[in-house]
């Protein structure tokens, strides 16, 4: 897997921009970031709070820009598809990817909330936007289940394995895939590491936890968002299958703000 050994400190989020984007339900996708991600050598693990990245995928200056851009479009397409599959909301419609990759400067304002280096003129600055989005969305979904008492580590690990298998197949990582098929627990350490990182992040943000079950979670959320001037009415549902998309986006807003 392409690896990141540790997360850098979070960059402040533009709350007004995030709120506007999250509530723009008619637009083709938008979600805010919280933390940036950086590659670190010698770890087959994901950055804190992030999903495992593509097996054996490199990001070096040795690869020609055109080839790297082509590979990045493939992976961004994959990450976007998985984000939509998980009911996430891509920053922009995938049909724009060719134009964005060809002329990222033209789309800089749109991309800015999710750029690793918003002020950089790097022409490849666009290459991990959807990757970063899904890297925040997956931990949010896990936390959302925990707040309702329905989080199942075995089911989460099963989903992790399916994702790992798919990325191995896409990247031609046959040796890793063979190892996984021989021993499905061979990548448990990766999964466990990410789970620990996710929980450490939540521990540092006490408003995301707390006792009192689901009713207390709803009250903490209302109070926190009100402190940020968010007064729009919403209704969370303890049964996630019944919760509407707007409520989920507002819950995500709370996850990132508080």
pLDDT tens per residue across span 131-155: 999 999 999 999 999 999 999 999 9
Q: Any idea how long the chain is?
A: 258
pLDDT digits (tens, 9 = 90+) for 51-101: 444 444 444 544 557 888 888 999 999 999 999 999 999 999 999 999 999
The DSSP secondary-structure symbol of 27 reads: S
Q: Tell me which residue of 208, 237, 86, 193 sits closest to 143, measured CA to CA.
A: 208
Q: How far apart are CA 256 and CA 14, in angstroms?
A: 11
The answer on 132 and 226 residing in a single domain is no
Tell me if 175 is assigned to some domain: no
Mean pLDDT of 180-187: 91
The answer on 230 and 135 residing in a single domain is no
Tell me if 117 is assigned to some domain: yes
Q: How far apart are CA 81 and CA 11, in angstroms?
A: 27
Residue 123: give the domain boundaries.
Answer: 1-140
The answer on 225 and 128 residing in a single domain is no
Tell me if 28 is assigned to some domain: yes
Tell me if 34 is assigned to some domain: yes
The answer on 28 and 119 residing in a single domain is yes
Distance of alpha carbon 8 from its chain centroid, rounded? 15
Determine the pLDDT at residue 13: 42
The DSSP secondary-structure symbol of 131 reads: H
The answer on 220 and 119 residing in a single domain is no
Task: Establish how many alpha carbons lie within 13 A of residue 247's alpha carbon, considering only the half-sphere containing its beta carbon.
Answer: 14
* Structure tokens that stand for 254 in this block: 């709370």
pLDDT digits (tens, 9 = 90+) for 202-234: 888 877 887 889 999 999 999 999 998 998 999
> Domain boundary at 80, 109, 140, which?
140
Tell me if 199 is assigned to some domain: no
Q: How far apart are CA 234 and CA 250, in angstroms?
A: 8
Residue 25 has pLDDT above 70, yes or no: no
* Structure tokens that stand for 113 in this block: 């909330």
The answer on 19 and 106 residing in a single domain is yes
Torsion of CA 102, 106, 107, 113, to 10 degrees: 120
The answer on 127 and 15 residing in a single domain is yes
Task: Establish how many alpha carbons lie within 13 A of residue 114's alpha carbon, considering only the half-sphere containing its beta carbon.
Answer: 25
Domain count, the chain: 2
The answer on 222 and 136 residing in a single domain is no
Q: How far apart are CA 89 and CA 87, in angstroms?
A: 7
Tell me if 149 is assigned to some domain: no
Across all residues in the chain, what is the average pLDDT? 78
The answer on 135 and 42 residing in a single domain is yes
Tell me if 173 is assigned to some domain: no
Determine the pLDDT at residue 63: 53
Tell me if 45 is assigned to some domain: yes
Q: Cα–Cα distances in Å, from 62 out to 39, 48, 123, 146?
A: 16, 27, 16, 43
């Amino acid at each position: 897997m392409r690896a990141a050994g540790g997360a850098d400190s979070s960059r402040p989020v533009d709350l007004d921009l995030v709120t506007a984007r999250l509530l723009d339900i008619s637009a083709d996708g938008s979600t805010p970031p919280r933390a940036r991600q950086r590659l670190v050598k010698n770890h087959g693990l994901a950055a804190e709070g992030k999903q495992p990245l593509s097996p054996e995928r490199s990001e070096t200056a040795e690869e020609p820009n055109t080839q790297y851009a082509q590979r990045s479009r493939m992976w961004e397409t994959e990450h976007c598809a998985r984000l939509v599959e998980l009911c996430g909301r891509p920053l922009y419609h995938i049909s724009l990817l060719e134009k964005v990759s060809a002329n990222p400067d033209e789309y800089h304002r749109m991309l800015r909330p999710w750029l690793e280096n918003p002020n950089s003129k790097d022409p490849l600055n666009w290459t991990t936007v959807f990757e970063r989005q899904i890297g925040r969305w997956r931990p949010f979904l896990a936390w959302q289940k925990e707040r309702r008492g329905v989080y199942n580590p075995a089911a989460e690990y099963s989903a992790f394995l399916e994702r790992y298998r798919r990325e191995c197949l896409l990247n031609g990582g046959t040796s890793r895939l063979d190892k996984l098929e021989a021993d499905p627990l061979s990548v448990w350490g990766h999964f466990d590491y990410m789970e620990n990182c996710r929980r450490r992040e939540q521990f540092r943000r006490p408003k995301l936890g707390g006792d009192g079950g689901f009713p207390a979670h709803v009250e903490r959320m209302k109070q926190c968002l009100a402190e940020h001037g968010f007064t729009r009415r919403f209704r969370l549902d303890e049964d996630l299958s019944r919760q509407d998309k707007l409520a989920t986006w507002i819950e995500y807003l709370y996850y990132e703000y508080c």
